Structure 1
Amino acid sequence: MRPTTAWHAMAQRPVSFLTSAWPWRSLAYLVGGVLFGAVVVAGFGLALASGLVLLMALVGVVVLAGLVLASTSVASMERRRLRLVDLDPVPDPHRRPEGTGFRAWAAHRLTERATWRELAFTLISATALWWLDLLVLGFSFGLPGVLFEATDGQTWPWTVFGALVLLASPYTVTSWAGARAAMTRTFLAPRDQELGEELREVRASQARLLDSLDAERVRIERDLHDGAQQHLVSLGMTLGMLRLDTPDGSPQSELLSQAEQQLATAHQELRALIRGLNPPVLADHGLIAAIEDYAGRFPIPVTIDLSLPGRLPRKLEAPLYYLINEAMTNIAKHSGATSARVHGRYHADVLILDISDDGHGGLDPEAGTGVTGLADRVSALRGRMRVSSPVGGPTLLHVEVPCRFA
C-alpha cells in the first residue's frame, strides 16, 4: 500500500524508503520550515513591537488585531506545506462570513476558535519549531561537514561518526518531519473539529431518520385504519348477513360463531396495534395523558408523576412516548416487578426521566434485555442514559434529554 505520510514511509523496507522521494520531501519540508519560520519571526516580531509601542495611542490595537489575523495566512501556508510529508488534505476550518467586505471578514475571523488555535500554532512555530528544524538539519548535515573538515590522522573516529550521522540523515530528517507534521495537523486540523463535522452530520441524519420514521408510523396507522380495519368491519357484516340464513344449532352456525369470535379478536388486536402506532390521546392531549392512558392498561400498577411546563414539540413528544413505552414493556417482560414508577421533571432546558421498578434487578445492558434499544433511542434524541440495577433490585433507568419549549 502506498504510504501517505512520512512516518508510514519509514515503515517500508530500507531500500524502498531510501530510493523513494520521501527523504527528499522531508528535507524540503524542513528547509522550507527554516526559511518560512525566519520570515514569520521577523514579521511578527516587528508587528508585535510596533503594536505594543503604539498601544497607548490605540493604534496598537489595530496592529495587534492584524497580527492575529495574519496568523491565519501563516496557518494556510503551513497547510499547503504539510502536503510534502502528509498526503491527506487538511481542510480549512474557517467558515465563510455572513457579511461582505473586509470588516465583516475580520470580525468573523476574530470570533472563530480556529483563528486563535492558529495564532497559538504560529507563536509555537516562531519560538520553537523552526529552531528545531534548523537543529535537526545542522545535526544531520552540518555536524558531519565540520567533522570531515577537522579530520586528521588522530581524529579518524570522528570521521567515522560523521559518516554514520550522514548515512542516518534520511531517517533523522524524515522522523522529525513526520513528528512536526503530526503536531501541525493537531493544531491546524484538530481531530475534535473533524469529529464535530461528522457528529453534526450524524445528528442531522438522526433527525431526518426520526422525522421519516414518525411520518411512516402515521402513514401505516392511517393505512391500517382505512384499509385493513375497514375490511374487517366489512367481513363482520358479511358474516352477520350469512348468519341470518343459517339455522341455529347447525354445524354451519357453530363455524360462524368461531369465525365471528376470531374476527372480534383480530379486530381488537388490530385496534391495539393502531393505537400503539399513533395513539390518538398522544396527538390530542400530549405526552402525560398518553403515558397515563398506557399505564391504565399496564399489567402491573404504575405511578405516573410527570410535570411539564407545556406541550412538547411533536418531533420530541412521539419519541419520548415510545421510549417510556418500551421501558415499561421491558419491566413487564423481564423484571418480575409488582409495581413501577415514572417520574419526570423539566429543568434548565433538560427533560429528566426516572423509570423505576421493584423487580429482581441484575439488569445487564449487554445481555440483550432491551436496554440497547433504549440507549439507541436516547442517543437519537442527543440525550444520555444511566442504568442502576443491583441484584435484588430495584432498577432505575435515568434519562436526560435536551428539550426547549417554544
Structure 2
Amino acid sequence: MAIAAVPADIAPHSETPHRWGRRGMLVLIELLHAVAFLPLVVAAIPLLLAFHLTLPLLAEADRALARLAGANAPRALPPGKLWAWLRGRVVQAAFWKQDVPLVLGGTLLSAVGFFVAGIGGILVGVLAVGPFIASPEQPLEVSLRDLVGWSYSATSFGQVWWLEPIALVCLIILLGLLLVIGNLRCRMTAALSRPDEEARLDALAAEVGHLTSGRATLVDAFDAERARIERELHDGAQQRLVAAAMHLGAAELHAGRLAGIGSPAGRAAGPAVAPAGVIPSDSSGNPASTGRQAEALAALRADVRSAQEEVEASLRSLRETVHGIRPAILTERGLAPALRDLAGRAPLPTSVTVVGGDDDLAAITSPVATTVYFAVAEALTNAAKYAGPAAQARVEMVVTADGLTVTVGDDGAGGADPLFPGSTGLAGMTQRVESVGGRLLIDSPPGGGTRLTLTAPLIPPWARG
C-alpha cells in the first residue's frame, strides 16, 4: 500500500543508484510500508469512501517509491494536471487494470512485510539486547523446553554471548526477506505501470491516423498551391508578357513607318520604309534635321527591338518555369501524354511506352500523376547528366486497376547509389513517391546503366474513403 506523496522530481530509470544503495533503498521502503501498515488499515474505511480519488494517488505514490528504488515505473500523472487527472482517472481502463491491482497487491505485500518486520524485529532485538541485561538479580532464561526439552539460565554476558551471532544471522535473514518483498513490489509496480497494450495500440493507431491525415493535407495543399501558382503565372504574368511583346513589335513597326514618312519616297508612297540609299528629310527639306531624325528613329528602333527580345526571352523562361511547376498538358490530358511530351523535351533521346486501358489511365489521381511525372523528369535529368553523351533512355508505364508501374532506364555508366551522402535527389525522389503510398527501387550496377522502378497506387492510401 502506498504511504507517501508523489515526489515532484523523480530521477529517470537510467540514474539507478548503486547496487547496494538500491538494496538499502528497497529495505528502507519496505520498513516504511511495514510501519505505515496499521495507520493505513485504520484509515482504510474513510479512504474507501473516496476510492476514485485515493486509489490513483496511492498507486502513483507506489510508482514514485519504486522509481526511487530504480524500477522502471512510468509516471501516470501528467505534470500540473492533478485534479483533472483524478476526476477522469476512474473512467479510464488504466484505473481498473493498473491502479486497483497495484494498490491491492501493495497492501498484501505491506501486510506480509508488517508481520515479517514485526516478528523478526522483536526476535533480533531480544537476541541482541538480552546478553547485555543478564545479571544475577535478573537472569536471562533461554528455554526450548517445549521443543527439545532444553533450557538455560544466564546471569552474565559471557554465558550468552553466542546470542549475538544468532541475532546477526536473524537480522541478515530479516533484511533478506524484506529485500525479497521489496523486489516483488518493484516488479509488480513496474508491470502494472506500463501502458496497457490495447491502449498503446489505440494511441499508436490514432497517431498514425493523425500523421496520415496531416500527410494528406500537406500533399493536397501542395498540389493545390502548385496548380494555383501555375494558373496565376499562365493567366497573369505570362499573358502580360505576351501583350508587352506584341506592343513592342507594334512600336517597332510604327518607328519604321516614321522613318519612311520622313523621306521623299515615303511622302510619295505613304507610310512605308524608305528605300536603301535614300536619306530621309523633314518637310522643310533641311538635310541636317533629316539626318538627326533618322539617327533618332534608328536608335528608337534598336531600343524597341532589344526590349522586345528581352521580353520574349523572359516569356520563354516563364513558360519553362510554369511547365516545371505543373505542366498544363498533365492537367488537361493526363499522365501518358505528359510523359510523351516530357520525353520530347528531354536532353537525351527517350522512348515512351504506355500499356493500360483508358479507364485505368483516367483513374490516376492528380497527386499520383504529379508525383510520377516529376519523378520521371528528375530521373531523365539525372540520366542526361551522368549517363554519358551517347546514352539513350526509355520510359515504360504499365497501368492496371491495382496500380501503376513506371520504369525509367538508360544505357549509361550506372553506379547510382541512393545511400551515398550526396544523393539527395534520389532520397528526395524516394520520399515523394512514398508520400503517395508508392515505392521506388533503384538498380544501377557500375557499367550496366541505371534502372528506376516506381510502383504506386492509382489513389493514395490517405485519399481512399
TM bucket normalised to smaller: 0.5 to 0.7
1:342 aligns with 2:395: yes
Q: How far apart are 1:9 and its partner, in Å?
A: 8.4
Letter matched to residue 343 of structure 2: A
1:189 aligns with 2:241: no
Q: How far apart are 1:255 and its partner, in Å?
A: 3.4
Structure 1 residues 235-282: Cα deviation after superposition (integer angstroms, max 9, x where no partner): 212322321225489344333333322222221221222233332222
**What does residue range 229-240 of structure 1 map to in structure 2 within 5 Å?**
229-240=238-249
| Contact 1:354–1:398 (Cα < 8 Å) also in 2 | yes
SS at match of 1:317: helix
SS at match of 2:195: helix
Aligned partner (choices 451, 455, 459) of residue 396 of structure 1: 451
SS at match of 2:417: coil
Q: How far apart are 1:300 and its partner, in Å?
A: 0.9
Question: Would the alpha carbon gap of residues 221 and 348 (structure 1) be closer, same or farther in structure 2, given more than 3 Å must change?
Answer: closer
CA distance in 2, matches of 1:11, 1:375: 46
1:328 aligns with 2:380: yes
| Runs of 5+ consecutive residues of structure 1 not aligned to the other structure | 32-77, 91-114
| Runs of 5+ consecutive residues of structure 2 not aligned to the other structure | 1-6, 38-54, 64-73, 79-92, 128-162, 260-272, 274-294
Partner of 1:208: 217
My pick for the range that moved more, 264-273 or 244-253, is: 244-253
CA distance in 1, matches of 2:415, 2:437: 27
| Contact 1:9–1:17 (Cα < 8 Å) also in 2 | no
SS at match of 1:385: strand
1:298 aligns with 2:346: yes
* TM-score, normalising length: structure 1: 0.63
Q: How far apart are 1:290 and its partner, in Å?
A: 0.8
| Contact 2:361–2:399 (Cα < 8 Å) also in 1 | no
**What does residue range 81-160 of structure 1 map to in structure 2 within 5 Å?**
83=60, 85=63, 86-88=74-76, 153=163, 155-160=166-171
Question: Would the alpha carbon gap of residues 6 and 330 (structure 1) be closer, same or farther in structure 2, given more than 3 Å must change?
Answer: closer
CA distance in 1, matches of 2:183, 2:319: 75
Partner of 1:53: none
Partner of 2:414: 361
Partner of 1:387: 442
Aligned partner (choices 363, 367, 383) of residue 315 of structure 1: 367
Q: Which has the higher contact order (CA 8 A, sep 6+)?
A: 1
SS at match of 1:185: coil
Q: How far apart are 1:335 and its partner, in Å?
A: 3.9
Larger Rg belongs to? 2
SS at match of 1:370: helix
Aligned partner (choices 254, 260, 283) of residue 331 of structure 2: 283
Question: Would the alpha carbon gap of residues 16 and 393 (structure 1) be closer, same or farther in structure 2, given more than 3 Å must change?
Answer: same
Aligned partner (choices 248, 255, 265) of residue 245 of structure 1: 255
| Contact 1:147–1:158 (Cα < 8 Å) also in 2 | no
My pick for the range that moved more, 367-376 or 342-351, is: 342-351
CA distance in 2, matches of 1:168, 1:292: 77
CA distance in 1, matches of 2:248, 2:188: 85
Aligned partner (choices 284, 301, 306) of residue 258 of structure 1: 306
Structure 1 residues 292-347: Cα deviation after superposition (integer angstroms, max 9, x where no partner): 11111111122323333331122332232223223323333344371222233346
Q: How far apart are 1:381 and its partner, in Å?
A: 0.9
Question: Would the alpha carbon gap of residues 390 and 3 (structure 1) be closer, same or farther in structure 2, given more than 3 Å must change?
Answer: farther
CA distance in 2, matches of 1:6, 1:143: 31
In percent, how many aligned pairs have the same letter?
27
Q: How far apart are 1:150 and its partner, in Å?
A: 6.7
My pick for the range that moved more, 319-328 or 170-179, is: 170-179
CA distance in 2, matches of 1:287, 1:160: 84
| Contact 1:145–1:162 (Cα < 8 Å) also in 2 | no
1:172 aligns with 2:172: no
Letter matched to residue 302 of structure 1: T
Structure 1 residues 128-167: Cα deviation after superposition (integer angstroms, max 9, x where no partner): x999989977986666566557766363343221343366
CA distance in 2, matches of 1:351, 1:392: 28
